[in-house]
């Protein structure tokens, strides 16, 4: 009895010593799963980019609306004449002047003369400087193709909203899987650490017995080899915890230097596991993001088809101008004579023939719409098949968890019996070590089965697209 108490006490002390080596800092942030998801949804860069894309598409729609409003512009031009144009006049038969008999009127640049004669009988016209500035405005009155483009912009906004929703659902799935991986790594570390402590204690015990002449050198070496065999597994488990925490921090958009820890274990999910399986509604796949995006893209193609058909309709636009002009000779900085002029008018455009381009564009759009229909049918069959496989996988994991749970219980009982037999000398060290390994493997298999179930359930939730994003909104 005293030996049994001594073994239990020493094992507990050794276990505590190893745990002290992994003591968390005082400022460790202990986060449940819901908090991790909430932080990720608010701080992850992917979500921020998706939300910004919605805002960008909203501005894109406003850009299309702006094309329906008046467009006003101001412009100004200046031209300096280097060589004036020459004009020849052809008089009628009764005219006194014939070609080649022009006269020089001696135009003076200072008096603003606009025409001079040339030696060849022509008349040079124009002034040295010309100015023009003013306002121009235009506004579409009848623009069917532009009106239909507004519906296309609405579809693009809806697509951006759905893509943002898809990003959130994908992020929830990734955070859950990363959190479950952290739980698996921590639980595996605890199981392997307990196995290491048992092996370490046994090795120390045999070493003391060997020093007293109660154990052989072979027994000491055998127990020390058992300790060395567990150490790599313990190191791998420690690395797995660090990697899982780093992955979770990346998804949450946190600094890698911030210490975090989980608040639960995998075994905590077993009690609510069976009810969770019954609550799954596999018949509703309308929330699948890929299917919803395909429907939105089909709507966009139909809107694009309508836009192409509107190219056959006439357009009418209102145009207006108000300008000032000035012309002078000599210096461009004086002798200004500004004269305003304005106009208003309508521009009607009736498309008649463009070499069949509009017709071929419409046919291309119609083919794309039919292609999307076939793609949707194929995607629907694929999603239903994936849902069936996911449900089968979940049910298999539930059965495996029940089997592993019973296996752990049996391994614990067998290990207790073997430990008692070893204490009284009725069992060898190999028998005790075999029972320890069986217990360790059964616990690891149990944790792995729960992890597989949680990941499968999370993947099914992603496939159905029925994650309640609103419950993770941070207050």
Res. 199: pLDDT tops 70: yes
State the pLDDT confidence band at 204, using cuts at 50, 70 and 90: confident
Percentage of the chain exceeding pLDDT 70: 86
The pair of three-digit structure tokens given for residue 314, joined into one six-digit string: 């006439």
How high is the pLDDT of residue 238?
93
Q: What is the mean pLDDT of residues 109-131?
A: 65
Q: What is the pLDDT of residue 109?
A: 43
Q: Are 127 and 82 within 8 A, CB to CB? A: no
Structure tokens at 172: 């929830």
List, for residues 47-74, the tens digit of each pLDDT value.
Answer: 889 889 889 888 888 888 888 889 999 9
Angle at 327 (CA atoms; ends 325, 329), nearest 5 degrees? 165
Residue 15 reports pLDDT greater than 80: no
pLDDT of residue 10: 41
pTM of the model: 0.76
pLDDT in tens, 381-435: 999 999 989 888 888 988 899 899 899 999 999 988 988 887 787 777 788 888 8
Region of 122 (left: φ > 0; alpha: ψ -120 to 50; beta: rest) is beta
Q: Give dist(CA 245, CA 447) in Å, integer.
A: 18
What's the average model confidence in pLDDT over 177-194? 94
- Using H for helix, E for strand and C for coil, what is the string for the chain? CHHHHHHHHHHHHHHHHHHHHCCCCCCCEEECHHHHHHHHHHHCHHHHHHHHHHHHHHHHHHHHHHCCCCEEEEEEEEEECCCCEEECCCCCCCCCCCCCCCCCCCCCCCCCCCEEECCCCCEEECCCEEEEEEEEEEEEEECHHHHHHHHHHHHHHHHHHHHHHHHHHHHHHHHHHHHHHHHHHHHHHHHHHHHHHHHHHHHHHHHHHHHCCCCCHHHHHHHHHHHHHHHHHHHHHHHHHHHHHHHHHHHHCCCCCCCEEECCCHHHHCCCHHHHHHCCCCCCCCCCHHHHHHHHHHHHHHHHHHHHHHHHCCEEEEEEEEEEEEEECCCCCCCCCCEEEEEEEEEEECCCCCCCHHHHHHHHHHHHHHHHHHHHHHHHHHHHHHHHHHHHHHHHHHHHHHHHHHHHHHHHHHHHHHHHHHHCCCCCHHHHHHHHHHHHHHHHHHHHHHHHHHHHHHHHHHHHCCCCHHHHCCC
Question: What does the alpha-carbon distance between residue 327 and residue 171 come to, in Å, rounded to a whole number?
Answer: 69
φ, ψ of residue 263 to 5 degrees: the values are -105, -5
Quickly state the pLDDT bin for 173 (edges 50, 70, 90): very high
Strand order in the sheet with 71-80: 71-80, 129-142, 315-328, 339-349
The pLDDT value recorded for residue 342 is 93
d(CA 174, CA 455): 10
Predicted pLDDT at 113: 46
- With 70 as the cut, is the pLDDT of residue 116 above it? no
* CA gap 435, 360 in Å, rounded: 77
- pLDDT at 4 exceeding the cut of 50: no
| Percent of the chain's residues with pLDDT above 90 | 31
CB within 8 Å of 106: residues ≥ 6 apart: 116
**pLDDT, tens only, 247-290:** 999 999 888 888 999 998 998 888 777 666 666 666 778 888 89
Instruction: Establish how many alpha carbons lie within 13 A of residue 202's alpha carbon, considering only the half-sphere containing its beta carbon.
Output: 25
Predicted local distance difference test score (pLDDT) of residue 27: 74
Q: How confident is the model at residue 93 (pLDDT cuts 50, 70, 90)?
A: low
Among 215-219, 316-320, 364-368, name the one with the lowest average pLDDT: 215-219
For residue 135, the model assigns a pLDDT of 95
| 98 has a pLDDT exceeding 90 | no
pLDDT confidence of 120, banded at 50, 70, 90?
Answer: low
Average pLDDT of every residue of the chain: 83
Radius of gyration of the chain (CA): 43
pLDDT tens readout for residues 127-147? 889 999 999 999 999 888 888
Lowest mean pLDDT among 65-74, 87-96, 339-348: 87-96
Q: Residue 245 — very low, low, confident or very high, per pLDDT cuts 50/70/90? A: very high
């Amino acid at each position: 009895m005293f030996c049994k108490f001594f073994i239990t006490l020493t094992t507990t002390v050794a276990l505590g010593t190893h745990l002290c080596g992994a003591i968390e800092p005082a400022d460790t942030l202990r986060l449940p799963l819901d908090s991790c998801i909430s932080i990720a949804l608010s701080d992850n860069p992917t979500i921020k980019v998706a939300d910004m894309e919605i805002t960008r598409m909203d501005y894109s729609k406003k850009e299309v609306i702006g094309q329906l409003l008046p467009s006003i512009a101001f412009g100004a031009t200046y031209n300096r004449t280097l060589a004036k144009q020459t004009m020849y006049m052809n008089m009628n038969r009764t005219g006194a002047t014939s070609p080649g008999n022009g006269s020089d009127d001696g135009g003076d640049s200072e008096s603003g003369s606009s025409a001079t004669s040339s030696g060849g009988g022509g008349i040079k016209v124009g002034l040295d400087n010309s100015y023009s500035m003013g306002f121009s405005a235009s506004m579409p009155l009848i623009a069917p193709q532009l009106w239909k483009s507004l519906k296309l912009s609405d579809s693009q906004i809806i697509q951006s909203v759905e893509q943002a929703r898809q990003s959130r659902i994908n992020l929830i799935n990734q955070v859950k899987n990363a959190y479950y991986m952290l739980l698996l790594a921590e639980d595996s570390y605890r199981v392997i650490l307990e196995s290491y402590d048992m092996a370490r204690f046994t090795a120390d015990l045999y070493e003391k017995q060997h020093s007293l002449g109660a154990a052989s050198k072979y027994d000491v070496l055998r127990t020390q080899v058992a300790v060395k065999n567990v150490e790599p597994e313990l190191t791998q488990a420690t690395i797995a915890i660090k990697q899982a925490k780093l992955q979770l921090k990346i998804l949450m958009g946190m600094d890698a230097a911030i210490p975090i820890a989980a608040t639960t274990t995998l075994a905590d999910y077993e009690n609510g596991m069976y009810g969770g399986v019954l609550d799954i509604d596999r018949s509703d796949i309308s929330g699948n993001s890929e299917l919803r995006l395909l429907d939105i893209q089909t709507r966009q193609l139909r809107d694009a088809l309508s836009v192409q058909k509107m190219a056959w309709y006439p357009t009418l636009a209102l145009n207006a101008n108000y300008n000032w002009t000035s012309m002078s000779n000599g210096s461009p900085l004086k002798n200004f004579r500004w004269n305003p002029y304005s106009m208003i008018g309508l521009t009607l455009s009736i498309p008649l023939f463009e070499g069949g381009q509009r017709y071929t564009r419409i046919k291309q759009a119609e083919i794309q719409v039919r292609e999307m229909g076939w793609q949707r049918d194929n995607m629907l069959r694929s999603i239903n098949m994936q849902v069936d496989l996911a449900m089968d996988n979940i049910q298999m994991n539930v059965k495996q968890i029940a089997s592993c749970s019973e296996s752990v219980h049996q391994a614990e009982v067998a290990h207790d019996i073997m430990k008692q037999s070893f204490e009284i000398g009725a069992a060898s060290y190999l028998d005790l070590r075999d029972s320890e390994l069986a217990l360790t493997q059964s616990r690891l298999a149990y944790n792995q089965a729960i992890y597989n179930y949680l990941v499968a359930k999370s993947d099914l939730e992603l496939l159905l697209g029925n994650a309640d994003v609103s419950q993770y909104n941070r207050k």
